[in-house]
Amino acid sequence: MIQIDHTQSENDSSERRADTLDSDAQALLDALVEAGAPDLTHLSPEQARTLLGDLFTPDVEPQPIAAVDERKIPAYARDIRVRVYDPDPDRALPAVVYFHGGGWVVGNLDSHDKVARALATEGECVVVSVDYRKAPEHPFPAAVEDAYLATKWANDNAEESGQAADLPSQVRVQVGP
């Protein structure tokens, strides 16, 4: 087993940092300050989840979709919840396995429902949205394990969930927002 020493950096971290923050990221931070939002670094995960809620979800009506199915994928002594969005159940479509944004700490199937619907409709694909385990309650590699198992499930159950039979050549993974 490989052991990684995280106490000492091999490279000076300043070598990898940009001189300025991306303008979109800065605009988001500025908007949060203007709105009087508290500093996220001083909040508990529960407080951040409550505050952020639907922050990454577009403020639009959810797109109608032909079929939405809640499933539970059996995993090691637990289940992984997924929501399968199929815009056209009469066609075999390629699939996108979607892991919502939120830094692996916030977000869930409901907070990113509109995004998943839009991906399925606009992308003409089946979307398998995954409610992976989040930190800090479930430390690394919990979310990665859930991501792997959900992607494997989507591949193994392609025809059952309306995906194209030749899914291995058509599976795509989307990591939020």
Amino acid identity for residue 107 in this structure: G
Q: What is the mean pLDDT of the chain?
A: 81
Domain boundaries, the chain: 13-52, 67-175
pLDDT for residue 5 is more than 80 = no
Give the whole-number percent of the chain exceeding pLDDT 70: 77
pTM for the full model? 0.74
175 or 89: which carries more pLDDT confidence? 89
pLDDT digits over 128-160, tens only? 999 999 999 999 999 999 999 999 998 888 776
pLDDT for residue 119 is more than 50 = yes
Name the pLDDT band for 6 (thresholds 50, 70, 90). Answer: very low
pLDDT for residue 168 is more than 70 = no
Check residue 54 and give its pLDDT. Answer: 57
pLDDT digits over 15-65, tens only? 667 788 889 888 988 887 888 878 878 888 888 888 777 565 667 788 899
SS3 string of the chain? CCCCCCCCCCCCHHHHCCCCCCHHHHHHHHHHHHCCCCCHHHCCHHHHHHHHCCCCCCCCCCCCCCEEEEEEEEECCEEEEEEEEECCCCCCECEEEEECCCCCCCCCCCCCHHHHHHHHHHHCCEEEEEECCCCCCCCCCHHHHHHHHHHHHHHHCCCCCCECCCHHHCCEEEECC
Check residue 141 and give its pLDDT. Answer: 93
pLDDT for residue 107 is more than 90 = no
pLDDT digits over 16-27, tens only? 677 888 898 889
Amino acid identity for residue 87 in this structure: P
160 or 6: which carries more pLDDT confidence? 160
Check residue 176 and give its pLDDT. Answer: 53
Tell me the fold of 67-175: Rossmann fold (3.40.50)
